[in-house]
Amino acid sequence: MSIIENMNPNDISREILNDIETDRVIALAQDPIAFNAMKKYILAVVYKQGVMEKGAEYKGTVNFALNLAWSATQQNGIPRSDEELGQNLRALTYAVQLVESGFREMGELKKPMVVKELKENLAE
């Protein structure tokens, strides 16, 4: 298991967010439509690159992975070894996994329940 998988999502939020920001992130995470829309938008750069769409011209070099390989095969491109291409693709994969992990942690955020102690009833 990675360090990220072992972390309590509330630990990260306490480190980087103030109370107002935490409340807003929790509210977003509890709204599945808004949460998934934001997730799709942010991850669309990776997921949509190089995807063919009806009526649109396909450009294979738009896809990140293909773009790395494409430029490595062209005379005026950036020469990259197979090892370098693999390292870059692995780095992209890790980056996507980290972003996905962040969304998973955001989805798990909950406001801590405040339990009030019952004070002794002095009237009795």
List the alpha helices (DSSP H) in 17-121: 19-29, 32-47, 64-73, 82-108
The answer to whether 70 and 77 are in contact (CB under 8 A) is yes
Torsion of CA 14, 31, 98, 78, to 10 degrees: -130
Tens of pLDDT, residues 23-52 = 999 999 999 999 998 888 888 766 666 566
Q: Is the pLDDT of residue 122 over 60?
A: yes
Please give the residue that has the higher pLDDT: either 29 or 14. Answer: 29
The 10 Å Cβ neighbour count of residue 26 is: 17
Q: What are the residue boundaries of the structural domains of the chain, listed by start?
A: 3-108
The 10 Å Cβ neighbour count of residue 29 is: 19
Tens of pLDDT, residues 61-106 = 567 777 778 788 888 888 888 999 899 889 888 888 888 888 888 8
- Is the whole model's pTM more than 0.75, yes or no? no
